[in-house]
Amino acid sequence: MQKTSDLYKSLFADLVAGKPGVRYETRMTIGDAGTLIDKKGDSITFGGVRILVGSSGPDSGLDESVLISVKTALRVFSNDTPSVGDCVSSEIDVSLLQPAGTIPRQARLVPYVRLTDGLRSSEWLQQGVYFIDTRGTSGSDSVKKMTLHGYDAMLKAEADYPPSTLQWPALDIDVVREIAESMGVAVDDRTAAIMTRGYLIEYPADYSQRETLGHIAALYAGCFVMSDLGELRLVQLAGIPPETRYLVTGDGQAITFGGVRICV
């Protein structure tokens, strides 16, 4: 779970309670840097405002005036049964009003959300990093819509093991880091915290990076996924904490008595 501020927690409690005016606000950045441009190199504008992309942050991304729908699908297991050793790529489907310019091939898509009550707004929460795989257009000449379908960076691991600087057999966490570097992503801190057994891995000449990740994940009874921040993360099958039976509010906050949580 991503860390959130007290303001966010408060606004979420209001959302769950059904307080009027509290809602999620969604933004989407497209591309890696700079602004969207057309084939002539001119900036693409929306209502005269240039559309900034990725590195500029969500404040300058596409908002709900352009976005029609955004849906993400994430899962740990590759099939409908609990398993270990999987490396499933999550997907995104975006429907938006087609911009005048060209969206780069395999452009980076990053959705963001935040809570607002109209007066106060929480911080933006990143909701994954995706890359366009397919695109389509529909609609009339006056209002053209574009649909984008993308996957996260896990598909980049579907390649042979890269040239290595490791001494083989190599430590499992070093292998994961080397693969992550090849994918162009970082390794989630929680992954290193789990991978402490120091397994020695033989050079995976016969396996893709993804298969190698899967075999390593299996040794830790888990699967690899991409986190909401676009980092490589190991999720263990039995990694959920024990049930606590704390008394909680409607939004899941523990009810305390004199600062002490109440068990039921």
Partner 1 sequence: MSSIYVGKNLRKFESSPQFLGYTKVVLQVSDEIEYVAGTDTGRTLTLVNPWGTQERAEAILDQIKGFAYQPYTASGAIVDAAAELGDAVSVNGVYSGVYGLTRRYGGIQFTDLNAPSDEEIDHEYPYKSPQDRRVTRQFREVRASLSIQADRITAEVEERKSNMEAVMGELSVQAGQISAKVSKTGGESESFAWDMQTDHVAFISNNTDVFRVDKTGAEVKGIIRATGGKIGGFDITQDSLSYNNHTWGGTNTTGVYIGPNGLQLGKNFKVDSAGNLTAASGTFTGYVKAGKIQYGDDNGYLPGSGIASHSVYGTQIGYSTISTAYTSPGVNTSLGYANFANDVFNWRATAPYVCCSYVVIGGKRYAPGTIRYKNANDDVTTAKVLLTQD
Q: Which residues bind partner 1 (CB under 8 A)?
A: 1-4, 8, 12, 15-16, 23-24, 26, 67, 69-85, 111, 113, 115, 125, 127, 163-165, 168, 197, 199, 201-207, 215, 218-221, 225, 227-228, 233, 235-241, 243-244, 248, 250-253
Rounded Cα distance, 121 and 56, in Å: 19
The residue among 92 and 183 lying less far from partner 1, judged by its C-beta, is 92
Minimum distance from residue 25 beta carbon to partner 1 (Å): 8
Q: Where do we find the tokens 């005016």?
A: 21
- Find all residues with CB under 8 Å of 58, minimum gap 6, and list them: 27, 29, 110, 112, 114, 124, 126
Minimum distance from residue 113 beta carbon to partner 1 (Å): 5
The residue among 141 and 243 lying less far from partner 1, judged by its C-beta, is 243
The residue among 26 and 209 lying less far from partner 1, judged by its C-beta, is 26
Minimum distance from residue 141 beta carbon to partner 1 (Å): 28
Q: How many Å is the maximal CA-CA distance in the chain?
A: 66
The residue among 41 and 163 lying less far from partner 1, judged by its C-beta, is 163
Rounded Cα distance, 34 and 43, in Å: 10
If you compute the radius of gyration of the chain from its CA atoms, what whole number of angstroms results?
A: 21
Rounded Cα distance, 217 and 141, in Å: 49
Minimum distance from residue 128 beta carbon to partner 1 (Å): 9
